[in-house]
Amino acid sequence: MIKLNVYNETSRLRSVVLGTAISNGPIPKLEEAYDPKSLEHIKAGTYPIERDMVMEMEAFNKVFEKYDVKVYRPKEIENYNQIFTRDIAFVIDDKLFKSNILPDREKEIEAIQYVLDQIDPKNVITASDDVHFEGGDIMLWNNYIFIGTYKGYDYKNYITARTNMKGVNFIKNLFPNKIVKEFDLVKSNTIASENALHLDCCFQPVGKNKAIIHKEGFRNESDYNYLVDLFGKDNLFYITKDEMYQMFSNVFSISDEVVVSEKNFTRLNNWLREQGFTVEEIPYAEISKQEGLLRCSTLPLIRD
């Protein structure tokens, strides 16, 4: 049995589901794109090819091997994108939540059923269809649960709006002893540099008391100020619009001291080292063309 245990983003990782790029399928048609960044690369003829993405994910897998992390991979589904496991499920404390994912992605959860079968069924949570949440919007920080959402009246018009207020309230009700704080995120179906697809596209804690943040990812300055006050302005790494577009905040922590980052994120990686972190740099720029990076392609199950 797998005893789920995830209380924050940075404690020592012991077990994770890492996505796979094998048999990733053909380049999507324009109308099949789930996000503006994929759309941009489909139009430009620069959409990533499978071989490159498999190589990038293998580099990530090697880092997990180095740190003795137990890695599960989804069962292969032919011609199907299974890279972003964070979208399909996430763990809070000892509970795994199955996301109400975009309808044409439902097979992805079936591919990790063998993992779910090792979890006590009472700890696997499914919500009704009107309750939306995805793991990229759920960020744990000890007694806090930060949740990205979109509060606009036109929520249903945005394929990039993945977590609704019903999702926020569902989690609030399940964790009455935690501080659950939602953040209203900027969305765009067509302009990648103006779209915070998930909360982890504009914010993520690292270490014990630091975080990466992009002010313009938040629709309300008060949400941004809440995080600045909580973490302290000197503990934050502020990313530009272009750095958000490149997904600087979507790194992944193996522990309080070790962060996996994209090798081209020079400014961030230098800052992390200055703060005393070990930075494991890997190539992930091809995968980032689908508006997802390191955190998006992982589903942590156990952290110490």
Q: Which CATH architecture is the domain 13-303 placed in?
A: 5-stranded Propeller (3.75)
The Cα 28–Cα 168 span in angstroms is 31
pLDDT digits (tens, 9 = 90+) for 260-272: 999 999 999 999 9
pLDDT of residue 191: 75
The Cα 171–Cα 164 span in angstroms is 11
pLDDT of residue 216: 94
Q: Where are the alpha helices (DSSP H) in 72-206?
A: 85-88, 107-110, 113-116, 165-174
- Classify 246 as helix, strand or coil: helix
Q: Place 298 in a pLDDT band, splitting at 50, 70 and 90.
A: very high
Whether the full predicted model's pTM is greater than 0.85, yes or no, is: yes
| φ/ψ bin of 2: left (φ > 0), alpha (ψ from -120 to 50), beta (otherwise) | beta
Which one, of 132, 254, 245, 126, lies nearest residue 182 by Cα?
A: 132
CA end-to-end span of the chain, whole Å?
16
Task: Please compute the mean of the pLDDT values over residues 143-164 and round it to a whole number.
Answer: 87
- Classify 202 as helix, strand or coil: coil
pLDDT digits (tens, 9 = 90+) for 77-117: 999 889 999 999 999 999 999 998 767 778 899 999 999 99
pLDDT of residue 184: 94
- Classify 82 as helix, strand or coil: strand
The Cα 24–Cα 78 span in angstroms is 7
Which one, of 228, 141, 216, 151, lies nearest residue 183 by Cα?
A: 151
- For tokens 């430009």, what's the residue? 44
pLDDT digits (tens, 9 = 90+) for 194-232: 777 799 999 999 999 999 999 999 999 999 999 999 999
Q: Residue 109 carries which DSSP code?
A: H
